[in-house]
Amino acid sequence: MATSNLQISATYQKWRKIKDQLARYGVVAGGLGVIVAIVLIFFYLMYVVYPLFVSAEAHPVHQYQVPEASAGKTLFFTPEEQNEVAVRFTDQGKAVFFAVDSGVVLKTESIGVPVDVAITSFAVGSPSQGYVVYGLSNGGVIVVRHKYRITYPNDKRLITPQLEFPLGEQALQIDPEGKAIIDIAFRSNESGTTFVARTADNRVLLTNLFKEDSLFADEDSFERFDARLEVDAIDLEFLLLDKEQRNLYLATRDGHLSLFNISDKQHPVLVQHTQILNAGDQLTSLVFLTGELSLLAGDNNGLVSQWSLVRDATNHYSVQKLRAFKVSELPVVAIDAEQRRKGFIAVDAQGVAGIYHSTAERELLRMKVTSAVPKLLVMSPRANAFLLQDNLGMIHVWEVDNEHPEVSIKSIWQEVWYESYPQPDYIWQSSSSSNDFEPKYSLTPLVFGTLKAAFYAMMLAVPLAIMGAIYTAYFMAPGLRRVVKPSIEIMEALPTVILGFLAGLWLAPFVEEHLMSVFSILLVLPISVLLFAFAWQFLPKSIRLKVPDGYDAALLIPVILLATWFAYSVSAPLEDLMFNGELIVWFNNELGIGYDQRNSLVVGIAMGFAVIPTIFSITEDAIFSVPKHLSVGSLALGATPWQTMTKVVLLTASPGIFSAVMIGLGRAVGETMIVLMATGNTPVMDLSVFQGMRTLSANIAVEMPEAEVDSTHYRVLFLAALVLFAFTFVFNTLAELIRQRLREKYSSL
Amino acid sequence: MIREWFKTGAPWVWLNAAAVSLSLIMVFGLLALIAVRGLGHFWPAQVAAIEYVEKGSKQTITVVGEMVEQQVLKPELAKAAGYTPEQAAAGLAQYLVKTGNRDISGLDFRWLLGKDMRQTSYPENLMVLERREWGNFYGYLESIKQSGEVVAQGEGAWADLAIRMQRTLDIFEQIKDIERGEIGTINYQLERLRLKQRKLELENKFDATAKQGLVLQKAELQKKYQALQANLTDLNQKIRRDSLVAKTSNGQQVEIALEKVVLYYQPNAMNVLQKTGHYFRKVWEFLSDDPREANTEGGVFPAIFGTVMMVMIMAVIVTPFGVIAAVYMREYAKQGTMTRIIRIAVNNLAGVPSIVYGVFGLGFFVYILGGNIDALFFPEAMPAPTFGTPGMLWASLTLALLTLPVVIVSTEEGLSRIPKSIREGSLALGATKAETLWRTVLPMASPAMMTGLILAVARAAGEVAPLMLVGVVKLAPTLPLDGNFPFMHLDRKFMHLGFHIYDVGFQSPNVEAARPLVYATALLLVMVIIGLNLFAVGIRNHLREKYRALEN
Q: Inter-chain contact B26–A667, Cβ cutoff 8 Å? A: no
Backbone angles phi, psi at A340, to 5 degrees: -120, -10
Is the pLDDT at B469 greater than 60? The verdict is yes
Q: Which residue range is the domain that position B102 belongs to?
A: 48-123
Tens digits of residue pLDDT in A403-424: 888 888 888 898 988 888 888 8
Q: Considering B107, B123, B139, which residue would you say is the last residue of a domain? A: B123
Tens digits of residue pLDDT in A127-137: 788 899 999 98
**Number of CB pairs, chain A paired with chain B, less than 8 A apart:** 316
**pLDDT at B359 (0 to 100):** 93
Q: Inter-chain contact A700–B358, Cβ cutoff 8 Å? A: yes
Tens digits of residue pLDDT in A685-714: 888 888 888 999 999 999 998 888 888 899
Mean pLDDT for all residues in chain A:
87
Q: How many domains does chain B have?
A: 2
The CATH number for B81's domain is 2.30.30
What's the average model confidence in pLDDT over A660-666? 90
Q: Inter-chain contact A642–B13, Cβ cutoff 8 Å? A: yes
Q: How many CB atoms lie within 10 A of CB B262?
A: 16
What is the pLDDT confidence band of residue A202, given thresholds at 50, 70 and 90? confident
What's the average model confidence in pLDDT over A151-162? 87
Q: How far apart are CA B409 and CA B390, in angstroms?
A: 29
Q: Is residue A82 classed as helix, strand or coil in its secondary structure? A: coil
Backbone angles phi, psi at B478, to 5 degrees: -130, 150
E-assigned strands of B123-235? 126-131, 136-146, 149-153
Q: Inter-chain contact A44–B30, Cβ cutoff 8 Å? A: no
- Residue A348's DSSP bridge partners are A332
Q: How many CB atoms lie within 10 A of CB B530?
A: 16
**pLDDT at A220 (0 to 100):** 61
Domain borders along chain A are 9-53, 113-275, 444-747
Tens digits of residue pLDDT in A452-492: 999 999 999 999 999 999 999 988 988 888 888 888 888 88
DSSP one-letter code for B439: I
Tens digits of residue pLDDT in B357-368: 999 999 999 999
Q: Inter-chain contact A38–B354, Cβ cutoff 8 Å? A: no
Helices B337-349, B392-417: crossing angle, 10 deg rounding: 130
What's the average model confidence in pLDDT over B310-329? 91
Query: Which of B23, B321, B342 to probe by mutation at the A interface, max A CB count within 10 Å?
Result: B23
Q: Is A524's Cβ below 8 Å from some Cβ in B?
A: no
What's the average model confidence in pLDDT over B235-240? 88
H or E element in which residue A143 lies: strand A140-151
Q: Inter-chain contact A556–B17, Cβ cutoff 8 Å? A: yes
Q: What are the distances in angstroms from CA B156 to CA A431, A439, B240, B311?
A: 63, 69, 21, 51
* Domain assignment of residue B56, yes or no: yes
- Residue B474's DSSP bridge partners are none
Is the pLDDT at A215 greater than 60? The verdict is no
Give the amino acid at A252: T
Q: Inter-chain contact B15–A475, Cβ cutoff 8 Å? A: no
* Domain assignment of residue B43, yes or no: no
Q: How far apart are CA A707 and CA A691, in angstroms?
A: 27
Q: Inter-chain contact A552–B401, Cβ cutoff 8 Å? A: no
The whole-angstrom distance between A135's CA and the closest CA on chain B is 49
Give the amino acid at A549: D
Q: Is residue A229 classed as helix, strand or coil in its secondary structure? A: strand
Q: Which residues of A415-433 are buried (b: 16+ CB within 10 A; e: fewer)?
A: ebbbbebeeeebbbebeee
Cα-Cα-Cα-Cα torsion A548, A550, A554, A559, nearest 10 degrees, comes to 100
* Domain assignment of residue B409, yes or no: yes
What's the average model confidence in pLDDT over B523-542? 84
**pLDDT at B198 (0 to 100):** 84
* Domain assignment of residue B82, yes or no: yes
Q: How far apart are CA A658 and CA A644, in angstroms?
A: 19
Tens digits of residue pLDDT in A242-278: 888 888 999 988 888 989 888 888 888 888 888 888 8
The CATH class given to the A444-747 domain equals mainly alpha
Give the A window 405-464 contacts with B, CB below 8 Å: 463-464
Nearest to B353 among A34, A471, A672 (CB): A672
Mean pLDDT for all residues in chain B:
86
**Scanning every residue of chain A, which has its alpha carbon at the shortest distance from the alpha carbon of B10?**
A642
Q: How many CB atoms lie within 10 A of CB B140?
A: 17
Tens digits of residue pLDDT in A95-148: 999 999 888 898 888 888 888 888 899 998 887 888 999 999 888 899 999 989
What's the average model confidence in pLDDT over B345-350? 82
Q: A68 exposed, middle or buried (CB, 10 Å; 0-12, 13-18, 19+)?
A: middle
Chain A residues within an 8 Å CB radius of B27: 487-488, 490-491
Q: Alpha-carbon Rg of chain B, whole angstroms?
A: 31
Q: Inter-chain contact B353–A470, Cβ cutoff 8 Å? A: no
Q: Is A725's Cβ below 8 Å from some Cβ in B?
A: yes
Q: B255's torsion region: left (phi>0), alpha (psi -120 to 50) or beta?
A: beta
Q: Alpha-carbon Rg of chain A, whole angstroms?
A: 37
Nearest to A488 among B27, B525, B533 (CB): B27
**Scanning every residue of chain A, which has its alpha carbon at the shortest distance from the alpha carbon of B33?**
A502
Chain B residues within an 8 Å CB radius of A667: 351
E-assigned strands of A214-316? 221-229, 236-241, 247-252, 256-261, 269-275, 283-288, 294-299, 303-311
Q: Is A669's Cβ below 8 Å from some Cβ in B?
A: yes
Q: How far apart are CA B505 and CA B37, in angstroms?
A: 14
Q: A6 exposed, middle or buried (CB, 10 Å; 0-12, 13-18, 19+)?
A: exposed
The CATH number for B411's domain is 1.10.3720.10
Q: How far apart are CA A115 and CA A113, in angstroms?
A: 6
Tens digits of residue pLDDT in A28-55: 888 888 888 878 888 999 999 999 988 8
* Domain assignment of residue B496, yes or no: yes
Q: How many CB atoms lie within 10 A of CB B70?
A: 12
Query: Which of A45, A476, A501 to probe by mutation at the B interface, max B CB count within 10 Å?
Result: A501
Residues with Cβ within 8 Å of A218's Cβ and at least 6 positions away in sequence, in order, are: none
H or E element in which residue B56 lies: none
Q: Is residue B116 classed as helix, strand or coil in its secondary structure? A: helix
Q: Is residue B250 classed as helix, strand or coil in its secondary structure? A: coil
* Domain assignment of residue B213, yes or no: no
Q: How far apart are CA B315 and CA B456, in angstroms?
A: 8
**pLDDT at A306 (0 to 100):** 92
Is the pLDDT at A1 greater than 50? The verdict is no
Give the amino acid at B227: A
H or E element in which residue B249 lies: none
Give the A window 590-619 contacts with B, CB below 8 Å: 609, 612, 616
Is the pLDDT at A4 greater than 60? The verdict is no
User: With pLDDT > 70 as the criterion, what percentage of chain A qualifies?
Assistant: 97
* Domain assignment of residue B276, yes or no: no
Q: Considering B60, B91, B123, which residue would you say is the last residue of a domain? A: B123
Cβ(B461)–Cβ(B469) below 8 Å: no
Q: Inter-chain contact B359–A16, Cβ cutoff 8 Å? A: no
What is the pLDDT confidence band of residue A219, given thresholds at 50, 70 and 90? low
What's the average model confidence in pLDDT over A585-605? 84
Q: What are the distances in angstroms from CA A33 to CA A211, A593, B361?
A: 68, 55, 18
pTM for this one? 0.89
Q: Worst-scoring range by mean pLDDT, A91-100, B206-215, B311-320? A: B206-215
**pLDDT at A2 (0 to 100):** 44
Q: How far apart are CA A705 and CA A712, in angstroms?
A: 14
**pLDDT at B552 (0 to 100):** 47
What value of ipTM does the predicted structure carry?
0.88
Is the pLDDT at A72 greater than 90? The verdict is no
Q: Considering B123, B143, B163, which residue would you say is the last residue of a domain? A: B123
Q: How far apart are CA A18 and CA A738, in angstroms?
A: 45
